[in-house]
Each structure stands twice: as structure tokens, then as C-alpha cells.
Amino acid sequence: MNLAPPYPDEPISSALVRGCRHYGLTLGRLLKVAAPSASGQVSFIGAAALSPLADLFEVTPRRLLSEHTVVPYLTAYSPRPVWSKLISSVLSPCAAPISLGSVFKNSFDSTMQRRYCDQCVADDLRTLGESYWRLSHQLPGCFVCVRHDCILRLAPHRIVGRIGAYSLPQDVTGPPCLATMPPSIWHILALRSSETLRRGLHPPLLRSNLHYRNLAEARGWLKRGQHVDTLALRAAIENEFGQATLTAFGIEPSYTQNHWTALFLRKSQSNMTTTSRVLFIEELLATKPVDVGHRPSGPSPKPRLGRDAELAKAVSATRISGVGANERLTLRQLLERCDAFQAYRHSTATTMPMLHAAAAKFQQGAARCRPLAGELFSVPDSSGAWASRSDLVAAGHLIHGREAAARMGIHWYQMKPLRQSGGILSIPFQRRDWYPAFWFDGTDKHLLAQRLRAVRRRPLTQQWAELLKVRALAAGKSSSAPTDHP
């Protein structure tokens, strides 16, 4: 038994359904009689069991794979080793059937229902006496018929999976895919998709993300070495193609910094992506360029001279007032008080000389402390005194883990789970864990641990200050507990 070969652009499953109608057989019975080894492996757009099906249609397996499956479209931009392994596996007559379910699902995930053109159906019935499904109408992002320039219609059958129904386009009636004619980009993408499908089993086009990054720089979308602003890129796509296009290609309002459109323009040799996205990016970069480069926060370069003098004056005034109040600050703390940290961070001594000179003068003074020492702790039983970690250890306000364990009557190795659960405050210093001595001076440890668990996500200095407040309240001396950190 033999069947008539598939029509141009017809999937294998559609030709099998027509054969079932010609012989009056079910698909299972037809395959059991004519191609037993293909039974149970045929899906609507699949590429399994090509050898027995090729014998059934009296064509070569390579022709079936090239002209009547979506494999040429799916692998058009795949890495060369992946393409070679897949093609050889599918065409091998002795190899076990290869599963392409994940490949199809990744590309057709947003394309759930089959599509057809009612004008193509009318032409087929007039010239052939029957209609058939077309591969080019099922491709992702294709919602218009390239031949008749009209909107495709939805059929009540799924694309991915088993055939499931013996219907042909002439037997179904469905609504149009879109309410109105889409933007011109959809016509272009449908045409590009059809051309990619018809390219056959030629080696894939070797284009990595770096290729599109260089293309974006050459056409004015980005400057050399500049990062991509994802939100600006999304706005450019929406302005050019409309919100419906964004939704169709998975660019939802919940747009993140790691979305595929921005990742496409990074400097990478990767090219593992779907064909529809590649075609979309190529058409996007062919439109009028829009600046989508990321601009870091900080002062603009033009009014820098006046801003430099203003910030330098503010830093000097804050430094002088800090010295008068006997404060010790890190450079970052000083600059943040003056709202000058971002300007200092994104400038140099050449671009903002007065600000950097004021910062250098502060670093040479006595009020400056290093970042670790900048975490100053209020000294217990004192009024307004502050000390670093080393000062607290030297004064005996912090004790070692073994001594703390001995005071609590437990083994030293039990201190780790206790501090991890918030049962006691731990302050790391010189690669050791230290514990507050006031924890063991008679204050209710339950109250201290309860307050510690409530403020565990705060900086250590604030946790320390909150525990001192609890200690002071328990002793009836709340007025002596410090309230603010310098």
C-alpha cells in the first residue's frame, strides 16, 4: 500500500489523514498495515519514524524531513554540533526514535491551536478537490497568510501532540486569530518565517548574541561598551510595534532586567534561542534606531563645575561640624550626609577636583575611621561614649565564646546553634565570635533574646543599642541608654 505524497508545505500528519480518508481506514489501522514501525509515533508536526513513512509515500526520508516538517525552521539558528546530531539521529533508519517534544514545546509553547486560511481552503477545493494543513500557518508569530495577506483562523485542534482528529481545514470553522489587521511587522515576520522554513536542511546560520550586539552598535541603538536599559528597550518595541506585538512575543508588562530581548544584545557567544525571537530581533534592529543604552545615576558632565564647588563646600562644612561633635565617620558616611556619594563615586579627581580634594582632606584628619571601625558601638554604663569592636574587647565589654559558654553552663560548641537561633548576640572580630558581657550581669536573658529576635535584620550597632535599652529599662535607667547612633 502506498499513499500520495504530501502537497507542498503540508505536514506528514495531514497527508496521512488524507490517506485515511481515501482508503476509509483509521490512522491506527492504516499504519498497522502499511508502516507498522511508525504506529504510535506520529504527531501533527513531529518528525519521528521517517524511514517507514518515506516508504509509504514513496519519497526519501530526507525530503520528508526537509519539506514536510518544521525541523528546518527550528534548527535554522542552532549551534552546528546540535544541528548535525539532530539531523543524523532523525534520518538514521536503525537508531531509536528520537524525542523532539522539548524542542517543539519550547518553540510552540505560545502557539496552542492550529491555524488555517479560508482563502487557501477555497483555492485547494477548487484545484485539488480537498484541502490540507500548511506548516507555514502553524509557525510561532505567524498570524497572517503571506499568500493572501489576510488574518488566519483558529481551528479547535492543538498543534503539539498526537494527531487526535481526522479533520482537514475544510471541516472546521473557527474565529480569526486577530480582531483587526496587525502591524506591518507581523506580515514581515510571517514572510521571514516561511522563508526560513523553506531553506531546507542546510547548515544553520552561525550568529551568536555578539553578532546582534555589534549590529545594534553599528546601527545606533547602543554605544560601544554600553549596557542595555531593559525598560528603554521595551518602550522602543512598544512604540514601534504596539502592545499586541509585545504580548504575542512574550514581552509582558512584568518586564524584568533579564528578559530575552535585553539578553540578546549582551556580549556573549551564546546562540541558544528560538527562531521566532531571532527573526524578531533582526527586524527590530532594521527599524529606526532608538538610544536604549543604560545611563548610571550621577551628575551629568555639563554642569559639573558648579556642582563640584557646591558639594565640596558641603563636605567641608560637614567635616568641620563632625570634628566639633567628636564624631568618627567613614568617608562614605560623610559623603552620604551631604548627598555627594554618587557624585564622588562616578567622578575622578580630574572631573570633580574640589570634591575629591575635600574628601582627601577628610581622610587625612582625625575624624576619619576605617569602615570596620566606623561601626561604633555605644559603651555600656556611659553617657554618649562610643567605641569600636577592638575598644570593647579591650575594655571587657565583649567576651570570648568559651568564657560566655562557661558563664551559661554549656559547652562552647553549643554557642553556635544558640547564636544562629537568635538566643544571644554575636559580634565577629578578628575571625572569632564575641559576646556582650552585659548579657550575664543579671539582666533577664529572656527579654534580651526576645528583643534580639525582633531586630536581627538590623545592623549590629543597632542590635547592640536596642539590647542596651532593654537592659536600662530592666534596671530602671532608661534615660541613660543612648538613642541615636553617630
Write down the residue that cell numbers 559603651 correspond to: 379
- Classify residue 446 by burial, with Cβ atoms within 10 Å: 0-12, 13-18, 19+: exposed
d(CA 404, CA 427): 13
Q: Which helix (H) or strand (E) holds 434?
A: strand 432-436
Report which of 253, 213, 223 is spatially closest to residue 235, judged by C-alpha positions. Answer: 253
Contact (Cβ atoms closer than 8 angstroms) between residue 105 and residue 149: no
The one-digit pLDDT tens for each residue of the chain (486 residues) are: 688 889 999 998 899 899 888 888 888 888 777 777 666 667 777 777 788 888 888 899 899 889 998 888 888 888 788 888 888 888 876 544 445 555 565 566 556 788 999 999 999 999 999 999 999 998 887 889 999 989 999 998 888 766 766 789 999 999 998 888 777 888 888 898 899 888 888 888 777 778 888 888 888 888 888 888 888 888 888 888 777 776 666 565 555 545 677 777 777 666 656 777 788 888 888 888 888 888 766 555 556 678 888 889 988 888 777 655 666 677 877 888 888 888 888 888 888 899 999 988 888 776 665 554 446 777 787 766 777 788 888 888 899 888 988 888 888 888 888 888 888 888 888 888 889 988 888 778 888 888 888 888 777 888 888 888 888 887 775 444 444 444
Joined grid coordinates for residue 305: 563645575
Q: What are phi and psi of 418, to 5 degrees?
A: -70, -45
Joined grid coordinates for residue 485: 547612633
Rounded to two decimals, the pTM is 0.57
Report which of 335, 308, 309 is spatially closest to residue 322, judged by C-alpha positions. Answer: 335
Contact (Cβ atoms closer than 8 angstroms) between residue 117 and residue 154: no
Report which of 102, 117, 201, 120 is spatially closest to residue 160, judged by C-alpha positions. Answer: 102
Contact (Cβ atoms closer than 8 angstroms) between residue 70 and residue 138: yes
Strands (E), 347-431: 377-378, 386-387, 398-400, 427-429
Contact (Cβ atoms closer than 8 angstroms) between residue 325 and residue 318: no
Write down the residue that cell numbers 539531523 correspond to: 87
Ordered by start, the domain boundaries in the chain are 12-197, 209-285, 304-364, 377-480
d(CA 435, CA 424): 8
Report which of 193, 358, 153 is spatially closest to residue 275, judged by C-alpha positions. Answer: 193
3-state secondary structure (DSSP) of residue 43:
strand
